[in-house]
Structure 1
Amino acid sequence: MPDEQPLLLIGNPDNRRTSGLQEARERMGMCPAVVLSYEKLLRTWRQGGTLAELVKSSLLSSAPLIRLDAPGEDWHVERGLLHLGATENEMCSNQISGATGLELAGIESVVTNVLSSSPPMIGQEMLSAEACLTLKQQWGRIYAPAQWFRGWKACLERIRVEAREVWPDVRFWNEPEDIGLMFDKRACQRHLARHGISVPPLLSSSQPVTCRETLRAAMEDSRMHRVFVKLACGSGASGVVAYQMNPRTGAEIATTTVGMEAVRGKNIFYNEGKLRKYTSPDEIGILMDWLCAEGAQIERWMPKATLGQHVYDIRQLVAAGQAGHAIMRLSRTPITNLHLRNERMLPAEAGVSEQHMSMIQQAAQQTMMTFPESWSAGIDVMLTGGMNPRAYVLDVNPFGDLLYRVQHHGLNTYEWQMMLLRKEPVTHA
């Protein structure tokens, strides 16, 4: 692949990710990426159009490298993905209602397989396609996460199919199917475990965990009384709960960013951007019933390594198989996400030893090797406390390269990736 293979960036044009990448390409003497907005693409699909129509006038003379960026931070895109998820739900419902007995058995088998690896097909909250396009933005509100994820998966698949119809030899920065897998915390952690990557032990259960009652029963059976319950498709600490239950008294505590309130008899949920602690059984019941019904990753709450009074984990960027930028995320609480204004520090500043950084880098690089069709991601890795720490992979973020004020070999994250792109071009088909 020549150095100047065109880059098509599908993302949100006005956000920090797009500007960071374009500025890096300019500084590295590379042609700017052609930018296609998710909002325009989703609107074109609703009007019956295709990706091909949008790229006709884009001056792409040859098959581009396509980078799919994060869809967040744009309300019109969020509504569009909810609408696409509603459309997919309605199509599935129509297939089931119109199917014969034999066809229905086949559909139910597919649904069962999907439910076993992904958030529920519908989720507790369901919005009609028509309602999605008229939603008014409420800052922080979490709308129908399972439906949103269904729309996002459909978006990724349609981009994959339509791009290859336009350019049969197109290459993706990160393969759309991999992005969907990385987004699904449940399926991703099982994928990593199958490939021998150390991940926190998952809560085992003889029946699907769809509410607080089944969650508590599974915790009792497994003798796992401290767990993280994470919205399977959430990001930025949205829908993450550090949940603990006293095995003797049954008392429970839930620490989370999720706020909730009743509006006209309906519970709504939102990301407060700060942590709060629930101890009321009624409130915890409402929270956990919603979270489990929408689809949750449930794993052992493991003690992290500490620095002073803080626990920490590390976001490690890997591109072209190489470990680059790394940042420590420190917190006095169990949840370390930087979105919560937690402290950040360079590992060298904190005195993290070369041996421990080597463990983290190896875990991150081995994680990326399980996605051979993808080129870069931010890998969240924790070390356990004690004299003989072990590294565990917590999360894989396909868009985890937006790291502020962090350099590697004198380059920021986007400059470093552009440099690697020239030396180690994307070669997967």
Structure 2
Amino acid sequence: MTSPSLTVLGNPGHRRVTLFAAAARAAGLPEPAVLPWADVLRGTYRIAPGTVLRIESPGEDEEVDRLLRGPALGAHYAPTRVEGGAAWYTGLTAALAGVARAVGRAPGARLLGDPDEIAVMFDKRRAHRRLADAGVPVPRALDGPAPGGWAELKERLAAAGLRRVFLKPAHGSSASGVVALQFGPRGQLLATTSVEAADDGLHNSLRVRGYRDEREIAAVVDRLAPDGLHVEQWVPKAAQHGRAADLRVVVVAGRATHVVVRTSGYPMTNLHLGGARGETGPAREAAGPAWPRLLETAERAAACFPRSPMAGVDVLPTAAWRRGLVGEVNAFGDLLPGLTGLPGGPAEGLDTYGAQLAALLPHLDPAPPTGAAR
């Protein structure tokens, strides 16, 4: 029987990998090996018998991003380009399927995380349908196929009576390409986004801007549409200190273990776009008896992905903190440095990586040589 060896599929040197390694050392485990994403995408890797393989995000590495997107953008490739999400998604899902096959061929090897569930989480339309079908509260989405462009989007929103919506690239992350769109009472338009339009396409920017000219908005939407758009109602969120607020809830092994309040003066609360960590204590006090229900909503969303040991769930509290809707479920939503587990919970005193290792430790006995756990 082969002893298990913990390995991380990730980008060497990335803080996700280094934080997980630090948590492993703190738990008394050997230093995890790293399987570089670039090696997987080139096909120059093998899975050793007994490997316990954790899947980590392929993000924030230009070489990996270029390999995932393939030749779709050609000479116009840039790491800031918004377009190419559909090609990136195809590259990701194909690579994960190959990794799963390789794990299945290695005696005693196991995969932490499920490629099929990761594929659903990285498709906002499929994830929304899965949550809705399970009775998890989600914002209303635009029915039917993804809109093909601005003219169709505008017509369908008018027919649905939706005047404030989020446009989300189906396979994007970190608010890449997200547009908060609202129609005013006299035909005014406002599209709030970090997208910067240039001659060669759309680029991510760290500066959130507002577009009011319909021709500019139409040009942005028409460039986003070919990769697929998920359109959902813009729900008024709770506030903290006058800023819009939501919750990132990390669910480990079915339990909500970590919560961070995210606040922003913009519709998007992502920290890299000017968002900031809010205060959990005041949020809990404002929610009162509804607080456990907000956490339970996150747990119900994570339960829709039962083969995923961790999920980062974005809960959108309504204006009075009494009810929460699920905006997204993130396969790699645990990068919250310095955040320890909820008091009295199973991860008290542990960071998100330590919590996952604590849940994993009882299962790190040598595995039977039956291949990947799926």
Normalising to structure 2: TM-score of the pair?
Answer: 0.90
Q: Distance in 1 between matches of 2:115 and 2:63?
A: 21
Residue aligned with 1:329, SS: strand
Q: Is the 8 A contact 2:103 2:111 kept in 1?
A: no
* Residue equivalent to 1:72: 59
User: Which residue, out of 193, 213, 224, partners 1:256?
Assistant: 193
Q: Distance in 2 between matches of 1:209 and 1:425?
A: 47
Q: Is the 8 A contact 1:242 1:254 kept in 2?
A: yes
> Is 1:366 paired with 2:300?
yes
Structure 1: segments with no counterpart, 5+ residues: 87-125
Q: Is the 8 A contact 1:192 1:199 kept in 2?
A: yes
TM-aligned CA distance change 1:313 to 1:32, over 3 Å: same
Q: Distance in 1 between matches of 2:118 and 2:6?
A: 18
Residue aligned with 2:267, SS: coil
1:172-183 residue pairs with structure 2 within 5 A? Answer: 172-183=111-122
TM-aligned CA distance change 1:333 to 1:410, over 3 Å: same
Deviations 1:357-410 (A, max 9, x none): 312210111111111111101111011114x73211111111111102211111
* Residue equivalent to 2:166: 228
Q: Distance in 2 between matches of 1:269 and 1:364?
A: 33
> Is 1:158 paired with 2:98?
yes
Letter in 2 for 1:42: L
The alignment yields a C-alpha RMSD, in angstroms, of 2.3
TM-aligned CA distance change 1:139 to 1:373, over 3 Å: closer
Letter in 2 for 1:276: R
User: Which residue, out of 217, 236, 244, partners 2:155?
Assistant: 217
Letter in 2 for 1:25: A
Q: Is the 8 A contact 1:319 1:376 kept in 2?
A: yes
* Residue equivalent to 2:134: 195
Structure 2: segments with no counterpart, 5+ residues: 342-347, 368-372
Shift of 1:349: 4.9
Normalising to structure 1: TM-score of the pair?
Answer: 0.79
Q: Is the 8 A contact 2:113 2:309 kept in 1?
A: yes
Identity fraction in percent: 32
* Residue equivalent to 2:202: 269
Shift of 1:411: 1.6
TM-aligned CA distance change 1:314 to 1:208, over 3 Å: closer
* Residue equivalent to 1:7: 6
Letter in 2 for 1:319: V
> Is 1:383 paired with 2:322?
no
Q: Distance in 2 between matches of 1:365 and 1:241?
A: 27
Q: Distance in 2 between matches of 1:352 and 1:176?
A: 38
Q: Distance in 2 between matches of 1:355 and 1:297?
A: 33
Letter in 2 for 1:37: P
Shift of 1:142: 2.5
Q: Is the 8 A contact 1:380 1:396 kept in 2?
A: yes
Q: Distance in 2 between matches of 1:314 and 1:418?
A: 23
Shift of 1:317: 0.5
Residue aligned with 2:356, SS: helix
Shift of 1:166: 2.6
Q: Distance in 2 between matches of 1:316 and 1:143?
A: 29
Instruction: Name the larger-Rg structure.
Output: 1
Q: Is the 8 A contact 1:204 1:218 kept in 2?
A: no
Shift of 1:297: 0.8
* Residue equivalent to 2:356: 417
Q: Distance in 2 between matches of 1:41 and 1:204?
A: 37
Residue aligned with 1:364, SS: helix
* Residue equivalent to 2:339: 406
> Is 1:82 paired with 2:94?
no
User: Which residue, out of 149, 152, 157, partners 2:89?
Assistant: 149
Residue aligned with 2:182, SS: strand
The runs of 4+ residues in structure 1 deviating greater than 6 Å are 424-427
